[in-house]
Amino acid sequence: MQNFFVKSHGLGNDYIVLNQNEIGFELNENAIQKICDVHFGIGSDGILLKVPSFNANFGLRILNPDGSEAEKSGNGLRIFAKYLFDYQFSKTRKFTIETLGGLVQAEIIEEKNGKATAVKVDMGKAIFSSPDIPVNCPKEECIDEILHLEYKDYPVNCVSVGNPHCVILTDNLDEKEVKTFGPQIETDPFFPNRINVQFAKVISPTEVAAMIWERGAGWTLASGSSACAVAAVTIKKGLVQRNLTIKMPGGDLKIEADENWNMRMTGKVSEIASGVLSRELVSELT
Ligand SMILES: N[C@@H](CCC[C@H](N)C(=O)O)C(=O)O
């Protein structure tokens, strides 16, 4: 169906799924910004575009609401896997998805009336090497390095799980602090491709609470790749076990990391709505 969309969320992190074969307009920066705008479009934390892949069962492009493109998204991958299963693009529960940030394996682990309700994703490896994240850090790994902002310094821990992340450990999670300093950290020249920012508080050896400022999206209720990043950093620092729960304002994600830093994420996913973009909206996009 022309211009068919599905809107879903993973723990309140919401995405609109579109199929490149079904859209009758160019999904450029202006179109992405408008569709993701809650007043002028549908409103979402980003767009997931189904594209062909030669290397995996399916291909996925992940577009942030500011029009930029992300390499990976954990909630986005679970939402996309649900879409592929629910709308019968995949007849099997296990399949591979190619993203800009690498190839992942997804598995539908719970379903109700033929609709996926929980998905497990093998997210790939956590990478700590500074040039690969990338971060302009003089050390090979950017762990406990001081980031100097205009009015504040933060010890930061950087990691890539396909997309770049900066984890700040704190004893006091404060939404106002995340919203004030998140945008400054995201765009600091220390991070050549900008960065996703997490403030994280270790609660116990199996639980970490986190608040997130996403690159290209801002404050979100949850983020799957951020949860993997928080897990990777807190495991590396010996603060938690390799199997843990990351608690975010929108809900919890289970994360596992093996000895080689392969990250696995498991969590819920729900559809909100489906429909067709109106002719009026599409005419404003082109
Ligand atoms: N919400 C996502 C992350 C989306 C991409 C991010 N904004 C970026 O630019 O890297 C998740 O669940 O991982």
pLDDT tens, position by position, 14-38: 999 999 999 999 999 999 999 999 9
Total count of domains within the chain: 2
Residue 70 has pLDDT above 90, yes or no: yes
pLDDT at 1: 86
Q: Does one domain contain both 165 and 247?
A: yes
Do 112 and 176 reside in the same domain of the chain?
no
Regarding whether 149 and 96 lie in a shared domain, the answer is no
- Find where tokens 């302009």 sit: 136
Can you tell me which atom of ligand 1 is nearest the CA of 69? Answer: 9
User: Is residue 34 domain-shared with residue 73, that is, in the same domain?
Assistant: yes
Which numbered atom of ligand 1 lies nearest the CA of 228? Answer: 13
Task: Write the DSSP symbol of residue 204.
Answer: E
Q: What is the CATH number of the domain that holds 104?
A: 3.10.310.10
Examine the pLDDT at 286 and tell me if it is beyond 80: no
Q: Give buried/exposed letters for 59-88 (b at 16+ CB in 10 A, else e).
A: bbbbbbbebbebbbbbbbbbbbbbbbbbee
Contact predicate 211/167, CB 8 Å = no
**Pocket of ligand 1 from Cβ distances under 6 Å:** 13, 62, 64, 70, 73-76, 163, 196, 214-217, 220, 223-226
Looking at the chain, list the stretches that DSSP marks H as alpha helix, in order from N- to C-terminal side: 29-36, 74-86, 175-186, 224-236, 279-285
Residues 5, 120: Cα–Cα separation, whole Å: 23
Binding site members for substrate: 13, 64, 74-75, 163, 196, 214-215, 224-225
Let me know whether 243 and 276 are in one domain: no
Tokens encoding 264: 């696995």
Question: Do 105 and 138 sit in the same domain of this protein?
Answer: no
Q: Is 146 exposed, middle or buried (0-12, 13-18, 19+ CB in 10 A)?
A: exposed
pLDDT tens, residue by residue, 72-128: 999 999 999 999 999 999 999 999 999 999 999 999 999 999 999 999 999 999 999
206/88 same-domain check: no
190 and 208 inside one domain: yes
- For residues 25 and 70, state if they share a domain: yes
112 CB-near residues (< 8 Å, 6+ apart): none
Predicted ipTM > 0.90: yes
Q: Are residues 95 and 114 in the same domain?
A: yes
- Average confidence (pLDDT) over 26-52: 98
Instruction: Name the β-bridge partners of 213.
Output: 197, 219
Domain check: are 177 and 100 in the same one?
no
Q: Containing domain of residue 117, as a range? A: 4-121+269-285
Same domain, yes or no: 256 and 134 = yes
Taking the CA of residue 220 as reference, the ligand 1 atom at the shortest distance is 1
The CA distances from residue 250 to 5, 116, 199, 224, in Å, are: 23, 19, 15, 11
- Take atom 2 of ligand 1 and give the residue whose Cα is closest: 73
Tokens of 170: 């704190």
139 CA to middle of ligand 1, Å?
26
pTM of structure: 0.98
